[in-house]
């Protein structure tokens, strides 16, 4: 039996001889490379926190002591040490989640895999337990240097710092990266900390120097105080934390288990909030991940564990179409600028950055700042393109509403991974954006059905200068071009079998246009008259859609978004306001959090396949 197989709980880990821990760490790394290469998942972040997670579980008593992992993609080692060692279906239906999951274990607390939230969670947990008289229970937040670029983390620090007896340990896992290299003033501050001798060691040097200096009485105290202050100001930038009222310890080697345990134990006993600054190496122990300059090993698909290369090279993805067209637009229009929230490559802005490096702003994990900054750029006469994952737009809704839309700012939002993404689970499905943006006055939303439309509608979006525009598309390989048979106003007609009046008008939204067309053709084959359309710009509902609905006996709307408050709901309201009395059948995602599984499995489960749509519509017509 391997050492890892003997660890069925943190208690078994605590009982292990310290001399065996380095071997356990190597077994864990081998396990991660072997298993994650079969399933895909977050490999680099987990390889970097092996020793840190071992030390945390040996010093603290989970689940009595709570360990909150920010973002949670680095929780694989935590899962292994808490008895979950079957990774054969990681991120697949019926298998382990790629993030902490309360359904899996009492050791998991925070399931939301959006960054910069751990300190607020930990603050609330620690204060709640103190109010209940549970002063012997500790709370630990593990937050990366990348997540510290998020404003919410500093809102929490602002509150934690004044609570001097709060039993809270903040572990800053500093590997100089989030998805991409950490940027900004905080990154520079942490870099200085990494390269500066420990404050305590320098102060010891000062004391030794003074002991050889002929100074006596109060003068000795004053001189020592002056040296202490001078050293702190010059070589101890941890003062930023300590001046806020937080005890700072570090930096500590994040791959030295003995040092980690000793440091964490001292932090636990301090009795108030402590920051433990831990230096780790992302991808530790796996050379392809260490050599990776673009963070392709942050999250991987199925790879060859020997080489780190993918077994299958995918085709052209939706993001590629946006990437290429942004470069072309940037070449033509010097007023177009781009903003990313620490995800330059995943959202497809790396091409634009290479061509126009002075016109790209990476704001770190700070979506709220990104949106309001974009509004300022628009006021200054530029046209910003803010590219984020659809699920992360949720974090900046107020800024979209009050800073951007209220001020009629010409800003284009490009939402990658919109709709069902599947394997990353509830927090990463981009299923909220059309419901949220449908409430925003003056906002116009485009949902391209294929790569050609991504390019065309991006160009249309950046021409709008009197309000926000949104362009959204899904994850994965881009759809084959779906040609319109004709244009009705601004609406593309994708299929119709005969006549002006039809039994059914099917409105296919974005990537679901192909699904809508397949379903419409099958219904037509049953002897009904059908027209399938792609509105292209789906919000607000255009008069052209209303006109086409007048000529139909029923309308169906198929969308990759919540049914509640989505495009179908907007169409229903628009028809009612126009006095068009036809039934509207809406198909999309129900209002619930979805389990992790493949996109295909989700579509089947939710009844969003052509055959399922045909069966349901036939029963309604």
Q: Show which residues are catalytic.
A: 282, 367, 395
The reply to whether 115 sits in an annotated binding site is: yes
Q: What's the rounded Cα separation, in Å, for the pair 485 and 483?
A: 7
- Pull the structure tokens for residue 442: 């003056």
The residue among 129, 131, 125, 250 whose CA lies nearest residue 194 is 250
What is the DSSP secondary structure assignment for residue 85, as one 8-state letter?
A: -
The residue among 620, 597, 621, 600 whose CA lies nearest residue 610 is 600
The reply to whether 99 sits in an annotated binding site is: no
Residues in a beta bridge with 317:
477
Distances (CA, A) of 553 to 425, 475, 500, 530, 619: 38, 34, 12, 10, 14
- Pull the structure tokens for residue 37: 């290469």
The residue among 273, 78, 293, 271 whose CA lies nearest residue 172 is 273
The reply to whether 146 sits in an annotated binding site is: yes
- Pull the structure tokens for residue 88: 């054969």
How many CA atoms does the CB half-sphere of 5 hold within 13 Å?
2
Element (H, E) at 511: none
Burial string for 231-249 (b: 16+ CB within 10 Å, else e) reads bbeeebbbebbbebebbbb
The reply to whether 175 sits in an annotated binding site is: yes
- Pull the structure tokens for residue 557: 């709307």
Q: What's the rounded Cα separation, in Å, for the pair 46 and 26?
A: 13
Asked if residue 10 lies in contact with residue 83, where contact means CB atoms within 8 angstroms, the answer is: no
Residues in a beta bridge with 384:
337
What is the DSSP secondary structure assignment for residue 477, as one 8-state letter?
A: B
199 SS3 class: helix
CA 97 to chain centre: 15
278 SS3 class: strand
The reply to whether 428 sits in an annotated binding site is: no
Distances (CA, A) of 487 to 468, 530, 534: 25, 16, 10
The reply to whether 463 sits in an annotated binding site is: no
The reply to whether 145 sits in an annotated binding site is: yes
Asked if residue 493 lies in contact with residue 499, where contact means CB atoms within 8 angstroms, the answer is: no
- Pull the structure tokens for residue 199: 């404050």
The reply to whether 113 sits in an annotated binding site is: yes
Distances (CA, A) of 281 to 114, 437, 600: 22, 39, 36
Residues in a beta bridge with 336:
383
The reply to whether 173 sits in an annotated binding site is: no
Give the other-Cβ count within 10 Å of 416's Cβ.
Answer: 25
Q: What's the rounded Cα separation, in Å, for the pair 268 and 275?
A: 11
CA 346 to chain centre: 11
Distances (CA, A) of 320 to 317, 429, 447, 473: 5, 20, 16, 11
Q: Starting from the edge strand earliest in sequence, which strands make up the sheet with 537-539, in order? A: 360-362, 336-340, 383-389, 412-416, 469-472, 444-446, 537-539
Asked if residue 544 lies in contact with residue 591, where contact means CB atoms within 8 angstroms, the answer is: no
- Pull the structure tokens for residue 496: 């119709």
Asked if residue 54 lies in contact with residue 81, where contact means CB atoms within 8 angstroms, the answer is: yes
* Binding-site residues from annotation for thiamine diphosphate: 73, 113-115, 146-147, 175, 286, 367
Annotated binding site for Mg(2+): 145, 175
Residues forming the annotated binding site?
Answer: 73, 113-115, 145-147, 175, 286, 367
């Amino acid at each position: 039996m391997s050492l890892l197989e003997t660890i069925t709980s943190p208690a078994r880990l605590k009982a292990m001889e310290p001399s065996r821990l380095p071997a356990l760490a190597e077994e864990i790394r081998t396990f991660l490379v072997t298993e994650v290469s079969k399933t895909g998942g977050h490999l680099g972040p987990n390889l970097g926190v092996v020793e840190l997670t071992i030390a945390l579980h040996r010093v603290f008593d989970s689940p009595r002591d709570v360990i909150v992992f920010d973002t949670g993609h680095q929780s694989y080692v935590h899962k292994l040490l808490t008895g979950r060692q079957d990774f054969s279906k990681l991120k697949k239906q019926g298998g382990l989640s790629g993030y902490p999951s309360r359904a899996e274990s009492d050791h998991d607390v925070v399931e939301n895999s959006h960054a910069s939230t751990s300190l607020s969670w930990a603050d609330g947990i620690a204060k709640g337990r103190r109010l209940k008289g549970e002063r012997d229970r500790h709370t630990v937040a593990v937050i990366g240097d990348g997540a510290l670029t998020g404003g919410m983390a500093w809102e929490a620090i602002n509150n934690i710092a004044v609570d001097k007896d709060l039993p809270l340990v903040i572990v800053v896992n500093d590997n100089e990266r989030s998805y991409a290299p950490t940027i900004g003033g905080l990154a520079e501050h942490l870099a200085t900390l990494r390269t500066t001798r420990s404050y305590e060691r320098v102060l010891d040097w000062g004391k030794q120097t003074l002991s050889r200096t002929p100074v006596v009485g109060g003068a000795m105290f004053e001189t020592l105080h002056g040296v202490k202050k001078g050293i702190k100001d010059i070589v101890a930038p941890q003062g930023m934390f300590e001046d806020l009222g937080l005890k700072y310890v570090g930096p500590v080697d994040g791959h030295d288990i003995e040092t980690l345990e000793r440091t964490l134990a001292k932090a636990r006993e301090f009795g108030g909030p402590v920051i433990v600054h831990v230096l780790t190496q992302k991808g530790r122990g796996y050379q392809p991940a260490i050599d990776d300059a673009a963070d392709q090993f942050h999250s991987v698909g199925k790879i060859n564990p020997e080489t780190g290369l993918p077994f299958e090279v995918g085709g052209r993805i939706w993001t590629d179409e946006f990437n290429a067209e942004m470069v072309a637009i940037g070449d033509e229009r010097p007023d177009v600028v781009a903003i990313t929230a620490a995800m330059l490559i995943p959202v497809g802005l790396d091409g634009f950055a290479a061509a126009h490096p002075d016109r790209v702003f990476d704001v770190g994990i700070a979506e709220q700042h990104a949106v309001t900054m974009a509004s300022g750029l628009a006021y200054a006469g530029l046209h910003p393109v803010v590219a984020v994952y659809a699920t992360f737009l949720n974090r900046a809704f107020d800024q979209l509403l009050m800073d951007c839309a209220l001020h009629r700012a010409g800003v284009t939002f490009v939402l990658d991974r919109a709709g069902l993404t599947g394997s990353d689970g509830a927090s990463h499905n981009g299923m909220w954006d059309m419901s949220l943006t449908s409430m925003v006055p003056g906002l116009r939303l485009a949902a391209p059905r294929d790569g050609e439309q991504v390019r065309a509608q991006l160009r249309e979006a950046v021409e709008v200068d009197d309000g926000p525009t949104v362009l959204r598309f899904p994850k994965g390989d881009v759809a084959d071009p779906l040609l319109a048979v004709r244009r009705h106003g601004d609406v593309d007609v994708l299929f119709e079998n005969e006549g002006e009046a039809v039994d059914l008008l099917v409105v296919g939204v974005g990537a679901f246009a192909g699904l809508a067309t397949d379903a419409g053709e099958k219904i037509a084959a049953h002897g009904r008259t059908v027209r399938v359309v792609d509105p292209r710009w789906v919000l607000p509902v255009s008069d052209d859609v209303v006109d086409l609905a007048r000529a139909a006996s029923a309308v169906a709307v198929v969308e990759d978004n919540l049914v509640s408050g989505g495009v179908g709901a907007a169409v229903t309201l628009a028809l009612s306001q126009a006095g068009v009395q036809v039934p509207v059948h809406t198909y999309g995602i129900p209002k619930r959090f979805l389990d992790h599984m493949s996109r295909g499995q989700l579509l089947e489960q939710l009844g969003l396949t052509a055959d399922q749509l045909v069966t349901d519509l036939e029963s309604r017509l």
